[in-house]
Amino acid sequence: MTYVSLLAPMAAAAHEVGALLLATPRRAAAPADTMEELAAAYLALETPAVAVMRRHLDALLPGVPWAEELHDERSLNADPNADPDASSSADPVAGPSAGPSAETSAGTSPAPSSRPGATPDTTPTPRLPAEGDVWTVDVIDGAVQFMRDLPHFCVSLALVRDGEPVAAALHAPLLGETYLAAAGHGATRNGETITPSARTRLEAALVGTSHPPFAAGQPAAVAAAGRSLAAVLPAVGAVRNLGPTSWQIADTAAGRLDAFWEYGRDDANLLPGALVAREAGAVVSDTAGRPWQAGASGFLVAPRELHGQLLELLNPPLA
């Protein structure tokens, strides 16, 4: 089975999950006041969606596990610009996935307290095997928005082979849009080929950013996010956080956003978007300029003409 041949059934799975989400009442009469309550409310929404997705993926590639089942308890408070090859915490199986973001049994991390033994700085994260196939799935990327009746959420999934994403599907039910990408075959939105922005200057650029789930457990990422926002905001037209990480990356791949950056470990949501962006022709790196890989503590995607300019802002010279 080729990577391209996987895309239609992956899209069908994402569409069925999206339809289920749209039919699901999601605003509780009493909003959650604690992380435990938030996690419980989320799991009640996630569980039926996971069941639908699992049925599709088990039929498509029987026996292929989900990365989120291979939990790896490690500190997430890493130096955002540390070389991922320089320590054992950054080997190919260290992150929430191989590229994009970490979240629950389906790809979206519940609150650390919802997992026995988990603490804010050792939240179990999906990990990727160095060899073989594994799914990384987030049935509700943008779960917080979804639970508040906000429209910014999507279903995202990727097949990862030998540590690299090779097929990806992202579907935003309320937008009626689907991004698809297969390694070596380009990327599309609703069947149309996408390419990044042709912008060459930052001064009028629209740039996206976000943070990993439960960012309080990653204080180094929180600090880096603050510093980077202070550096980028005065240099661009506008900075926005438009919701789901994977979708913002895909929108950068399609030229709707001119660039996107994020600090922290968020592989389960980064992997699908990273493949879409690479296949569209965008540059995907960590925030120090190295090729991005799962487990890195920073992520940057931009067209080539803007990528170097953003790296300079994110890495100012030492005084």
Q: Is 140 annotated to bind ligand? A: yes
Contact between residue 285 and residue 291 where contact means Cβ atoms under 8 Å apart: yes
CB 122 within 8 Å of CB 89? no
Based on its alpha-carbon atoms, the radius of gyration of the chain, rounded to whole angstroms, reads: 18
Kindly give, in sequence order, each residue whose CB lies less than 8 Å from that of residue 302, ignoring residues fewer than 6 positions away.
Answer: 196, 252, 258, 259, 260, 282, 283, 310
Q: Is 249 annotated as a binding residue?
A: no
Q: Is 121 annotated as a binding residue?
A: no
Query: 3-class DSSP state for residue 150?
Result: coil
Q: How far apart are CA 69 and CA 104, in angstroms?
A: 8
Spatial separation of the C-alpha atoms in residues 35 and 112, rounded to whole Å? 8
Chain length of the chain: 319
Q: Supply the DSSP string of 176-213, one letter for each residue.
A: TEEEEEETTS-EEETTEE--------STT-EEEEE--T
Q: Is 258 annotated as a binding residue?
A: no
> For the chain, give me the number of helices (H) and strands (E)?
7, 13
Which residues define the annotated binding site?
68, 138, 140-141
The binding site for Mg(2+) comprises: 68, 138, 140-141
